[in-house]
Structure 1
Amino acid sequence: MALITVAGFPAAGKSSRATELSTYLAARIASPDYEGPIANVVLISDDSLGLTRACYDESKLEKPARGALFTAIQRQLSTDTILIVDSLNYIKGFRYQIYCAAREMKLRTCTMFVVAPPEKCKEWNSARQDGRIYADKTLENLTMRFEEPSSMVRWDAPLFTVMWDDEDAPGEQIWDAITKGNLKPPNSGTLAVAKAPADALHVLEHTTMLLASAIVSASSAQPTGGEVQIAAGTEVRVAMRLPGRNVTLSELQRLKRQFVSVHKKAITLGTTERGGVDWSALSVANKFVEYVESHLRQ
């Protein structure tokens, strides 16, 4: 249903705000007045995944930790779940990555930016008694590298900013955003590429070769042009309008090479056209005839 990304400086109070928001959203779902599709709220955090603060001390430790977080996010994304991701999320590229994963699932997204001064974060980090603290050098490094969310970019919007001294998280506004906001279609870059069948190249070559020969024969038999039936083998027949002149074999061979060259690329690289592409002999024949007709009229 929705993905909520929580971002902010380390030790800025993100987990407290995320828990507060999770409690509010769960209460809204459980309310007798709510009859929507959302069934539950899931909160993912470094702590819930067993990721210690020490994993941010070195990049070689941080990368697999971030990979584990992304894998957990992908597992929990669902059309009946509000997923809250409580982590540093300080890299805009990572926020964009999880945004794309949510859009692929056709989910709404928003970002909650928890703001606290670096001095306050350092104070809160030192005061923790549960052992879940950042090393001083790591805290300073992460604060300097933090890439602040912006409401101007699509992967952070809509953006809700929560100051360290705010009484409550903006639960109602976030609820409206994830239940009533615009549902963006998947990005073309996130769509699965439809692959052509294994025999598509053979069908393309064979069908166009037969049609080229058939068009030349039909043109010789009907030099005045007009509507004719063209056959490609025994199973494929298509209608075509011939021009009022003789069509040469070299002309048809040139058009065949151009047509095959263009469609070979689609077969090799795949396509993201909605519904995929029909590579049957009849479909190829119809497309080739349309291509030939448009070029013979020029």
Structure 2
Amino acid sequence: MALVTFSGYPCSGKTRRATQLKDHLECRLADPSYKGPSLKVIVLSDDTLNVDRTSYDDSRSEKPARAVLFTAVQRQMGRDTILIIDALNYIKGFRYQLYCAAREFKLRVCTVYVVTTPELCKRWNGERPDGHRYAPETLDNLIARYEEPSSMVRWDSPLFTVPWSDSDIPIELMWSAITEGNVKPPNAGTQAVQKAPSDALHTLEHVSTSLVSAIMAEQVARGVPGGRVTLSLSETLKPRLTLPARSLTLSELQRMKRQFVTVHKKAITLGTVEKGTVDWSEESVADKFVDYLEEYLKA
């Protein structure tokens, strides 16, 4: 349904705002006047995932902590869930990663930027109990490295800025974004890669070799170069090809065949994100090679 990403300095009050949002949403979803789909509200945070504050003391321990959060986010994403991410999310690259995951699941997105002064964050950090506070040097480092969200970039939009002095969040606007906002389709970078069948390389090599042999045989049988010909590769596979007004040599055809195979090997071994169904049948490969030859011979 939706992914709500909270962002802000450490100890800036993100958890309080996330709790406010969760309470508002659950209240509205339980209201008899609500006629929409049945939804659940889930909050993921360092506390719910048992990520210790010391994980942010250095980059080597911070990366696994972010990986734990991202894995949990992917596990909880769903069309029946409003997922609230109550974490630092201070790196724009990580917010973009969350945005791409949401697009893959076809979820609505929004970002909540909780604004608090560094002085207040330091004071509130000092008031926290042991195990829930950051080391002073870690807090200073995280504040210095913080990358502020921007409504000008797609992965932070729509962006709701909530100052520490506000008593509540802009629930009306956020409710609209969560329940009525645009759902952006997955892009090429977020779509699953389609893999070719296991025999695709064999089909590619076999069909292109057979076509070369058929062309050479057809030229000998016709005696006259050029014209539209039908090449018989099997009882059902009979591609048509327009030959140039000259005889093609075996070495020339083999060179074009090697180029064709090389071009398509990458798509087979690494996968492809072409639109529509990727077809590696003998008929499809034959048609591709015929098109390749005719394009080459026109040049």
Q: Normalising by structure 2, what TM-score? A: 0.91
Aligned to 1:113: 113
Deviations 1:94-121 (A, max 9, x none): 2122222212212221110000111112
Give the direction of change, closer, same or farther, for the CA distance of 1:246–1:90 in structure 2 (3 Å limit). same
The runs of at least 4 consecutive aligned structure 1 residues that moved more than 6 Å come to none
CA displacement, residues 174-222 of structure 1 (integer Å, 9 cap, x when unaligned): 2222333232222322222222222211111111111112122223434
Q: Is the 8 A contact 1:38 1:79 kept in 2?
A: no
C-alpha deviation, 1:38, in angstroms: 5.2
Indicate the larger mover: 3-12 or 174-183: 174-183
Q: Secondary structure at the match of 2:71?
A: helix
Q: Is the 2:111–2:156 Cα contact (8 Å) retained in structure 1?
A: yes
- How far apart are the structure 1 equivalents of 2:210 and 2:79? 49
Give the match for residue 35 of structure 1: 35
Matches within 5 A, 1:185-264: 185-222=185-222, 223=224, 225-264=226-265
RMSD: 2.2
Q: What is the CA distance between 1:224 and its match in structure 2?
A: 6.1
Unpaired segments of 5 or more residues in structure 1? none
Deviation per CA, 1:62-82, whole angstroms, max 9, x where unpaired?
332222211111110112211
| CA–CA distance in structure 2, aligned partners of residues 226 and 277 of structure 1 | 31
1:287 aligned partner = 288
My pick for the range that moved more, 146-155 or 60-69, is 60-69
Cα distance between partner residues in 2 of 1:35 and 1:274? 37
> How far apart, CA to CA, are the structure 2 residues paired with 1:296 and 1:100?
43
Q: Which residue of 2 aligns with 1:181?
A: 181
Paired with 1:205 and 1:24, the residues of 2 have a C-alpha distance of 62
- Distance in structure 2 (CA, Å) of the matches to 1:114 and 1:38: 29
Distance 1:142 1:187 in 2: 32
Residues 12, 258 of structure 1: alpha-carbon distance in 2 compared, 3 angstrom cutoff: same
User: Are 1:46 and 2:46 matched, yes or no?
Assistant: yes
* 2:103 matches 1:132: no
Deviation at 1:131, TM superposition (A): 5.8
- Output one character per residue of 1:48-96: Cα deviation in whole Å (capped at 9) or x when no partner: 1122333323434333222221111111011221100001111222212
1:162 paired with 2:185, answer: no
Structure 2: how far apart are the matches of 1:58 and 1:113? Answer: 24
> What is the number of equivalent residue pairs in this alignment?
298
Normalization by structure 1: what TM-score? 0.91
CA distance in 2, matches of 1:148, 1:121: 16
Aligned to 2:171: 171
Alignment check: 8 A CA contact 1:38 1:82 kept: no
Runs (5+) with no aligned partner, structure 2? none
Matches within 5 A, 1:48-127: 48-127=48-127
Measure how far apart 1:233 and its partner are.
3.8
Partner SS state of residue 190, structure 1: coil
**What is the alpha-carbon distance in structure 2 between the residues aligned to residue 205 and residue 5 of structure 1?**
50
In 1, distance between residues paired with 2:21 and 2:61? Answer: 29
Structure-2 residue corresponding to 1:296:
297
**2:214 is aligned with what amino acid?**
A
More moved, 80-89 vs 193-202: 193-202
Q: Select between 54-63 and 202-211 the one with higher mean Cα deviation.
A: 54-63
Cα separation, 2, equivalents of 1:275 and 1:74: 26
Distance between the aligned counterparts of 1:94 and 1:226, measured in 2? 59
* Aligned partners of 1:219 and 1:242 also within 8 Å: no
Contact 2:43 2:85 (C-alpha < 8 Å) held by counterparts: yes
Which secondary structure does the structure 1 equivalent of 2:238 belong to? strand
DSSP 3-state at the match of 1:43: strand
SS at match of 1:109: strand
- Deviations 1:10-56 (CA, angstroms, capped at 9, x unpaired): 11110000010111122232333433345111111111112233332
CA contact (8 A) 2:12 2:121 kept: yes
User: Which residue identity does 2:197 align to in structure 1?
Assistant: P
